[in-house]
Amino acid sequence: MLATIPSLQGRSFLSEKDFTKEEFLYFIELAMKLKDEKKYGIPHRHLAGKNIALLFEKPSTRTRCAFTVACIDLGAHPEYLGKDDIQLGKKESIEDTANVLGHMFDGIEFRGFEHKKVEMLAKHSGVPVWNGLTDQWHPTQTLADFLTVKENFGYLQGIKFVYVGDGRNNVANSLLVGGALVGMDVRICSPESLFPAEEVVETAQSLAAQSGGKVTITSNVEEGVAGADVIYTDVWVSMGEEDKFAERIELLSPYQVNMDMVRKTGNKNMIFLHCLPAFHDLETKYGKDIYEKYGLGEMEVTDEVFRSAHSKVFDQAENRMHTIKAVMAATLGNMK
Ligand code: CP
Ligand code: NVA
C-alpha cells in the first residue's frame, strides 16, 4: 500500500512549480501502482460517485481520452464541455462560470489558451482544477513523460533529458521546470530566439539547486545532445500560432530529430519521446499542406526515428492515462 500525501488533498494541479519534489514523485509512484492495478483487473474506484467537468477550448485526443477513461476507471462520471458548449468568458465571466461548476462538479479539468483562465477557475470554483494544457504549461504531460523515463531507466535523478525544438512552448516550459524539480540534467536545445523566458529559466535554476539537478539552455546541437538519455521534441508550431509555419521551418530545421542527431548522443540506449501529435510523414492534412508549400515531408522528427526502437511515444501516450488518474485520485480521491 502506498502511503497517501495529505498535503495533496483538495489541491489543484496547474503547473510543476506548485509542488515539492516529494509530491511530484508521489504522483509518479501512484501512477505505477494504478497502472498495475488496471493491468491485473484490480478495482480502484477512489472517485466513486464524483462528477468531473472536462473543459476543452482547444482540440485533444490523448488528454481528453486519458481524463475520460481515468474518470470511469476511478468510478467517476466525466462530462465533456467543448469550446462551443459553455459561455466561459464569452457571455458569462470565468469567475461566475467557475462558481457554478464548483457547485455541481467535484473536480474540473481545463485545456485552453491563457494560463490565467485555469488559475481563475481554481480560485473561484472551490474544487480541484487540473490543467490539461495552457499556452504556458502542460504539467500532466510531464508526469507521463517522467513515468516513461522511469520505466525505461529505473530512476530520474541525473537523467540527461534533452528537449530539442521550440524552447519556449508549454511542453518545453513544463519539462524544464519539472526536470529541474526532480533532479534531472535537463537541457533545452533551440535557436536563441526561441529560448525559454528568463523567469522560467530562473525558476528551473532555483529548483535544480535544491534537487541536485542541472539546467542548460543552448543553441548548439552537439553540446545539447551529448550523452543524452532522452531526446524529446514537440511540434514546431503549437495550437493557436498556425500563422508561424514559415518562420519556424526556417528556424527549426537544424533542430529536426533525425538519426544523425541520435548518433550524436553517443548513447545506444537513448530513448526518443514526443508528446504527440507529431509531423513525421505525409499522412495528415497539415503534413501534406506543408509538403506542398515548403517541400518538407517530415518536420520535428523523421519517420525513421519515430518508428525506431528508440521511440517510446506510444507507451508515453498510454502513460497519460495512468498519471492523470494518479493526479485525480491523489487530489480528490478517497485513498484510504
Ligand atoms: N499530448 C497531448 O496533450 O495530446 P492531445 O493534444 O491529443 O491531448
Ligand atoms: N505544444 C503543443 C503541445 C500539444 C500537446 C501545443 O500546444 O499545440
pTM: 0.98
On whether both 165 and 288 belong to a single domain, the answer is yes
| Ligand 1 binding pocket mutation candidate from 67, 80, 239, 275 (most atoms within 8 A of CB) | 275
The CATH number given to whatever domain includes residue 249 is 3.40.50.1370
Q: Is the pLDDT of residue 215 over 60?
A: yes
- Pick the catalytic residue from 73, 275, 310, 316: 275
On whether both 32 and 122 belong to a single domain, the answer is yes
Instruction: Verify whether ligand 1 is closer than 6 Å to residue 141 (CB atom).
Output: yes
Q: What is the pLDDT of residues 256-273, one digit of tens each?
A: 999 999 999 999 999 999
Residues in contact with ligand 2 (CB, 6 Å cut-off): 133, 169-171, 234-235, 238-239, 275
Length of the chain counted residue by residue: 336
Q: Give the pLDDT score at 245.
A: 95
Q: Is the pLDDT of residue 11 over 90?
A: yes
**139 and 129 in contact (C-beta within 8 Å)?**
no
Q: Is 71 a catalytic residue?
A: no
Sequence-distant (≥ 6) Cβ neighbours of residue 94 within 8 angstroms:
88, 117, 120, 121, 124
Domain-located, residue 154: no
Domain-located, residue 155: no
Rounded to an integer, what distance in angstroms lies between the CA atom of residue 79 and that of residue 51?
8
Domain-located, residue 166: yes
On whether both 94 and 180 belong to a single domain, the answer is no
Task: State the distance from the centre of ligand 2 to the C-alpha of 277, rounded, in angstroms.
Answer: 8
Domain-located, residue 178: yes
On whether both 294 and 323 belong to a single domain, the answer is no
On whether both 44 and 65 belong to a single domain, the answer is yes
CA distances from 249 to 211, 246, 291, 293 (A): 36, 5, 11, 11
On whether both 202 and 291 belong to a single domain, the answer is yes
Q: Give the pLDDT score at 336.
A: 64
Q: Is 111 a catalytic residue?
A: yes
Domain-located, residue 150: no
Closest to 47 in 3D by CA, of 15, 82, 75, 85: 75
On whether both 195 and 72 belong to a single domain, the answer is no
3-state secondary structure 88-122: ECCCECHHHHHHHHHHHCCEEEEECCCHHHHHHHH
Task: State the distance from the centre of ligand 1 to the C-alpha of 209, rounded, in angstroms.
Answer: 31
Task: State the distance from the centre of ligand 2 to the C-alpha of 334, rounded, in angstroms.
Answer: 32
CA distances from 155 to 150, 151, 152, 166, 269 (A): 5, 8, 8, 26, 14
On whether both 172 and 111 belong to a single domain, the answer is no
| Total number of domains in the chain | 2
Mean pLDDT across 91-107: 96
∠ CA 100-326-231, nearest 5°, is 115
Q: Is 138 a catalytic residue?
A: yes
Mean pLDDT across 43-53: 97
Share of the chain above pLDDT 90, in %: 94
Q: Which bound ligand lies closest to the C-alpha atom of 142?
A: 1
CA-nearest residue, atom 1 of ligand 1:
275
Mean pLDDT across 79-96: 91
On whether both 96 and 219 belong to a single domain, the answer is no
Q: What is the pLDDT of residues 278-319, one digit of tens each?
A: 999 999 999 999 999 999 999 999 999 999 999 999 999 999
Rounded to an integer, what distance in angstroms lies between the CA atom of residue 98 and that of residue 87?
11
On whether both 253 and 301 belong to a single domain, the answer is yes
> How would you classify the pairing of strands 271-274 and 230-233?
parallel
Q: Is the pLDDT of residue 79 over 60?
A: yes
Q: Give the pLDDT score at 297.
A: 95
Domain-located, residue 153: no
Q: What is the pLDDT of residues 131-159, one digit of tens each?
A: 999 999 999 999 999 999 999 999 999 99
Q: Give the pLDDT score at 1.
A: 53
Q: How many CB atoms lie within 10 A of CB 35?
A: 19
Q: What is the pLDDT of residues 166-186, one digit of tens each?
A: 999 999 999 999 999 999 999
On whether both 209 and 284 belong to a single domain, the answer is yes
Q: Which atom of ligand 1 is nearest to the CA of 276?
A: 1
77 strand-pairing partners: 51
Mean pLDDT across 89-97: 91
Q: Is 103 a catalytic residue?
A: no
What is the crossing angle of helices 21-39 and 139-153, to 10°? 70
Domain-located, residue 287: yes
| DSSP string of 185-216, one letter each residue | EEEEE--GGGPPPHHHHHHHHHHHHHHT-EEE
On whether both 66 and 129 belong to a single domain, the answer is yes
Range of the domain at 202: 160-228+230-266+271-309
Q: Which atom of ligand 2 is nearest to the CA of 135?
A: 7
Computed over every residue of the chain, the mean pLDDT equals 97
CA-nearest residue, atom 3 of ligand 1:
63
Domain-located, residue 145: no
Rounded to an integer, what distance in angstroms lies between the CA atom of residue 259 and that of residue 256?
10
CA distances from 34 to 14, 128, 291, 325 (A): 22, 20, 42, 8
109 strand-pairing partners: 54, 130
| DSSP string of 63-96, one letter each residue | HHHHHHHHHHHTTPEEEEEETTTS-BTTTB-HHH
What are the DSSP E strand ranges found in the chain?
Answer: 51-56, 77-82, 107-111, 129-131, 160-164, 185-189, 214-218, 230-233, 271-274
**Lookup: cell for 328:** 485525480
